[in-house]
Every structure is written in structure tokens, then in C-alpha cells.
Chain A
Amino acid sequence: MYTQALNTAETDDRGLEDAGKAAQFQARIDAEERIEPNDWMPAAYRKTLTRQISQHAHSEIVGMLPEGNWITRAPTLRRKAALLAKVQDECGHGLYLYAAAETLGSSREELVDAMLAGKAKYSSIFNYPTLTWADIGTIGWLVDGAAIMNQIPLCRCSYGPYARAMIRVCKEESFHQRQGYEIMVTLCRGSDEQKAMAQDALNRWWWPVLMMFGPPDSTSQHSDTSTKWKIKRFSNDELRQKFVDATVPQAQYLGLSIPDPGMIQDADGHWRYSEIDWTEFKQVLAGNGPCNRDRMAARRKAHEEGAWVREAAAAYAAKRAQRQTAQAAE
């Protein structure tokens, strides 16, 4: 999962670098060539991508927590297995993305430390709580749905390792999205209580999900460089509109109402949503969401309590290497 809101490009520093190389680099981008780890790239390109890919990885890992909250309480064995497999997929995405970020020269440890120190961000959507089983369906349907909207264009991102990682991630995300929607269909065909549970979850997740696409284009400051470098291919508002247009009919099919009484369909068929409360978005981003503290505490606890295990693994690997060297010398 991922949010564009987190992308903040470095200022263009090509002036400090070899102008010829920079022009060549841009020409390759314009020709839709993939940039690979050993290729020359502007320092700002490297820094922007490291930040974006690592934030994406952190989001996958923190994103395991709200859904993990229901693994032990899933209502049937089939749902339990599917949810566990799904959360495991998110972990796999995280690992995959850290590996992609490492090709730009930062280690996973450094990147994780930055997140645990509160210096690196993760998607704000994971700072909302999962209160009922319907939240698990809604996250799959809407949060993964929004993530797919964001990530499909990233499959064509100019940086090769990120683009390739996204192809695999998108395949799994679209499976998760269908799985989530299927949970919603089941709830909406169920008892009044189940349907109310589904509606309540939609009410709580709708606006935070729209915020996943980032601030409106009118206030978004940094997309120019990312667009020029073909890291980003569509604007926040374009993707948000695409998502809303795709989602409204899905909600209608479920018999649920989008919690936006002012929403209307325009002459071109687009569903026009009401103004988003960006104050809430900023508050959550600033650390004041309902679960920011819990999420960070959970990640820090896992990291700290696992330290002795990682140390043991490293110590054993070192001992083993030493023994092998000693054996070879004999």
C-alpha cells in the first residue's frame, strides 16, 4: 500500500552535476528507457526514489498491523487462512520493496531505523483502527483498491527495480481487493446486523481512503520533478477521480451508501465528491491519528524484543564462518 501524499521530491540539483550526463539521463527517461541500479542518475532522483520506495515498504509493514488485528478472530477457518495469507503477502511486499530501495544504496537496517525513529513516514491510512470484521472487507475493497490505482502506473516507473516490484505487487493487491470485496458481498447478503456492520465500516473508511491519493493538485508542490522523471504519471486528483468513479457502482451493487450526501454524477459520468477535510489528513500525518502511537509502539516493540534473536543469528553466522575458515586452513 502506498500514498502519493508522502512523495516529496528533492529540489532539482542538476546544476551541481554534469550537465551533459543530466541531459543524457533525461533523454533516456523521455525515450521510456528503464534506469537500472548501476546507471548514472542525478542525486535527487536517487534520493526521491529511496524515500518513496522505503516509505512504500514501511507502509506495507505497518499495514500488517490493522489487518493482523483480526487474524486471531477471523470468523471462519477459510477467512482466517485467507487473511493470514494476505497479511503475509504484505510482508513479502515490504521485503521486496526494501530490496528495491537497497539497490539505490541504503541498507534495510538504515531505512527501518529511520522509520522507527519517526523520521520516515508510512501511509496514514494505517493509523485508523480495525474495529469490526467488516473493516477487513473494507480495507481489501477500498484501501487495496486505492493502492492499486496508485500502483498500476508505477509498473511503468522509470526506475527498473521499482517498476518490476510493482508488477508483482499489483497482481497480489488485485487478488486482495477481490477478496475484500467478496467479504463485503457476503456481509451485504447477510443479516441486518451484518449489513449495518458493512455500512459502518464504509462510513469510517471512505474519507481516509480518498485522502490516500494525497493533497489536491492545487496545493501539491512537488509533483513536477517526479512527473518529469516519470516516477509519477498521473496527478493526485486524476487518480482520486478514477478511484471514485470505479468505486461508486461497486457500492451501489452492495446496496451501501457512500457517506457523501453531496455527491453527484456530472454530465460526463464522473462522480463528483464533496470537499475533503484536509485538516484531518494533516493531523493524522502529524502523528495525531487514532492509532499512530499504537502502530509505532508495536513496530518498536517487535524490533526491540527481537534484537537478541538477530544478535544470536549474527553471532552464530560469524562462529560458523570462523569454523569453516579454520577447517579450510587445516
Chain B
Amino acid sequence: MAVANIQVSETPLVLYALRRADDALILGHRLSEWCGHAPMLEEDMALSNIALDLIGQARELYTFAAQAEGKDNDEDKLAYLRDVRQYRNLLLVEQPNGDFAQTLVRQFFYSAFADLYWRAMMNSRDATLAAIAAKSEKESAYHLRHASEWIIRLGDGTDESHVRAQAAIDRLWAFTGEMFAVDDGERALIHAGIVVDPGALRGRWLTTLSDITREATLTLPQNDWMQQGGRSGRHSEHLGHLLSELQSMQRTFPGLTW
């Protein structure tokens, strides 16, 4: 049974919020796939906790986007009734979980950014975004600490864990550039003081990564070629499968209350 996708009027502010909401939802969804299958119970708990934080952030950001759009959409319509070409998340967050090292490297790259980003966003001129940022920053700080500790353990653990962690870094590195990219619409929001320039955070992000990987005896790749596309809906093949699962109920039983 096919259900039509919703149409979203992507003003710069709506698009901005959707991008961040999609990041949080897709990464939260990926982490939730571990629930019941993690290497130890403590990590079932931790990964679920982080997933819950991210899904919570997504809900606030979708609600903000829906209000900014001012039409009939809401958090569930935005999450469940847009297809892969309408999703605006980073390619990084949709990458499959892979092994535990790949999941944690993905988390490390993202959280090291999110922590800085939401802290800076607390100064947004938009009171709602500033409030979302204040909550997200506290959560991201914990996510970063959790991921950093694991990067160190895996990098400086056994030969096998070292190889796996390094492989994950090498594999995911090219997806990190997109975090710092900005288009014209977002540039205008930056000038208006509503959002912050992610590009300005890259130096500090890199310092965090360098410090932690050094302690973990791991190395950051030298290549600076970066894969882009998620922000404009050109995704990897992985996202379609994720969405078909995430959206299956709303697509199969349209318009019902659950």
C-alpha cells in the first residue's frame, strides 16, 4: 500500500531544523538497533540511553520545524512520511552499525561535533533553538565522553581491537566533512545570529579527535577528500532500507492513531 509523501516547504529555517532533526533521528535509530545485541549489558544500556537522547532531540527539532513551517505537519509526519530524497541527515549517521568499533567511531566523530555545536547554539537568538541546544549540549557531552573512552580502550586494547578501530576511522573519515558545510540559506541564518557557523568549530573538533586518537594509539587519515550529499537528499544506499523499516507501520496503515 502506498502512502503519499508529505510536502515540506523548506524555508532556510525549516530546512535547518530538519537537517539537525534527521541527524538525531537516524543516528538514534541506528543505535537502537543494538538494543539486546550489544557486547555487554552495560553497553545495551549506554547505547539505548544515547539513542533515547537523540530521539528526544529529534522530536524537539521536528516540532520546531513543523512550527516554523506553519502548515499541517508534525513530528511524526516529518519522520514517517518523507522518503529518502527528502531526508536531510549527514551521510555519516546513516552508515550501518558494522562492528562495535564502527558504531563507536561514528558516534565519536558525531558527538565531538555535536558537543561543540550545541554549546555554541546556546547563544542562538531564537529562544526555542537555544533551549533545545542547552539540553542537547548536556547530553552530547556525555555521549562524547562515552565514545572517547571506548576509542581509547579499543585503540589501546588488543591487536584486534586496534585494527578494527583504525579500520573504522579510515572507513568513516570521508563522511566528516559534511558536518561543517553550509549553504546559502544557512549562511543567512548565521548572519542573523539564529544559528552558528559549524565551519568555525572544525579546528576545535580536530583537536578533540587528535587528542583522543593519540591516546588511543590510532591515527587520523591524511586525505581531505570528503563525501557530500546527505544535506541535499543524495544519500547512500543504506538510508532507504533504514527508512523502509522505520516507516513501515505508517506506510502500511496510513492515517491511524497509535
Contacts and interface: CB of A to CB of B under 8 A. Distances in A.
Given A88-B44, A302-B36, A302-B37, A312 B157 contact: yes
B256 A191 contact: yes
Interface of B is mostly: helix
A309 B40 contact: yes
B131 interface: no
A68 interface: yes
Interface string B146-159: 00000011101110
A96 to B, nearest CB: 10
A77 B58 contact: yes
Interface string A277-317: 00000000000000000000010011001111111110110
Interface of A is mostly: helix
B65 to A, nearest CB: 13
Given A72-B29, A186-B257, A91 B48 contact: yes
B256 A88 contact: no
A152 interface: no
Nearest to B246: A72
Given A77-B75, A81-B59, A316-B152, A71 B32 contact: yes
B36 A298 contact: yes
B42 interface: yes
A229 interface: no
Contact of B45 (A81, A95, A183, A309): A95
Contact of B33 (A61, A72, A306, A319): A72
Interface in A127-181: 133
Contacts of B164: 308
Contacts of B25: 77
Contacts of A308: 158, 160-161, 164
A87 interface: yes
Interface residues on B, range: 35 or more
Contact of A77 (B37, B41, B79): B79
Interface of A: 61, 64-65, 68, 71-81, 84-85, 87-88, 91-92, 94-95, 98, 133, 183, 186-187, 189-191, 193-194, 298, 301-302, 305-313, 315-316, 319
25 contacts: A64-B44, A68-B37, A71-B35, A73-B248, A75-B250, A75-B253, A76-B258, A77-B79, A80-B32, A84-B35, A84-B52, A87-B48, A91-B41, A91-B48, A95-B42, A95-B45, A98-B41, A302-B37, A305-B99, A308-B158, A309-B40, A313-B157, A315-B161, A316-B152, A319-B156
Given A75-B253, A91-B44, A302-B39, 20 more contacts: A68-B37, A71-B32, A71-B33, A73-B246, A75-B258, A77-B59, A77-B75, A77-B76, A79-B258, A85-B52, A98-B41, A302-B38, A305-B99, A306-B39, A306-B100, A308-B164, A309-B40, A312-B157, A312-B161, A315-B157
